[in-house]
Structure 1
């Protein structure tokens, strides 16, 4: 069955969808200083939602596999990275390593162009634009490709989507890559976020979840916050969003930090929804029936409270 995406603007469903890519994302993210594993993960989410194998969709222009390689580019960069005797554009290892090498080559080329005054702009942004529109488009535009409708409607939003979700993928990949995000002494807020991220993709269940974890197969909004806060701090929150609002201290939304609780959907009795702030205007929450624990933008009416 169809599962709602756990990241806004992506096709990524449960966290297991990226776990099989993690070892190769880590390896490709170590090829050069400019390209990291979280950037590659965000790019693969934008390209094809980590879909691989014979049933992976082919783009209208013939780009194939999770890295969406055109035939000519694959001929140049496609190699047998996992030693199975073939360079498989529909696989995992071979496309990820090919993407890493292509991105590193373009990063170095664009950095050289910047030093020579041929292009201007953020080097990583331009490298991602080159993956979508071709490195020639970057040089012709003297920076971010612009003017052509494809550049305005596809390339620029593509780059923005990758950069916006890069930090989220860093958290998702941290258990696999040893990135050390959260969990350290004095970093309680990040620990709260990381504990909630363990359950990305788990179904929303009304009344589900408590300090011990999911129940009935999932979480509701306050069940998720109850679990993550207790596991990180030992603080037992009241069970509903309305009663959780009275714990801790309200802080201005602009001053919210990762791990602060966000409250919204205001009603006569108080907030009808609670979430966990992760930074960058994003939160992790269990939204509603038929949805899953996922990342989404902070609601306009939300207020923040710090409870630790």
Structure 2
């Protein structure tokens, strides 16, 4: 490469740009140094430091008064507490009961008031209603009469059945008079269930079956033992039947009345079913 082959025109252009950049940087640096704050060292304070010395003087009068009290309090706290002196009281003399000589007779001695209070004839008699509500239910003669050998109690009505409730189940050829006897198990709400025939009179009259069929309408109080109701116990229920005179002659009138009653019952059942549907 020769000296004449160097591109001087291009170098001049680049040299001018480089010179301009250097001048601009120098101006910026000069401006920064001019605007920066000057750091001057602090001047030393020629004044001498002032110190104060507190002299220990005599205690004030209040401090002198408080000192003995504080010492006395410390002595009181340090001293052990005094034990309370035991007070000796004289024993109280006890009176010995007077021993009575044994009675020569083995009898119980009672005063006049005790004899009067023990007289059962002067005791007030309980009302019949209270005895019926709080006593025990009367049981039939001995256990084993009920189904499976269970004990039976005489039934006590909570509500007696009406004639219309009983007459629906009377056989058409039943005699004018008779009775039916059944045994039933008491359940909640004074109802009975699982009724079984025990007997009837006359035999074959169908009165016992009529009582068993009508038992779902019965309301019977449960038996009581020691004043407590025994729900689930068995009771015996007897219904006596007596045909009243109705102006009709013989068996035909009785059969007519029974038929009318059955018709009435069927009519009531039909109306209930119709209303429910």
TM-score of the alignment, normalized to the shorter chain, above 0.5: no
Give the strand-richer structure, 1 or 2. 2
Q: TM-score, normalised by structure 2?
A: 0.18
User: Rg: which structure is higher?
Assistant: 2
Instruction: Output the TM-score relative to the length of structure 1.
Output: 0.17
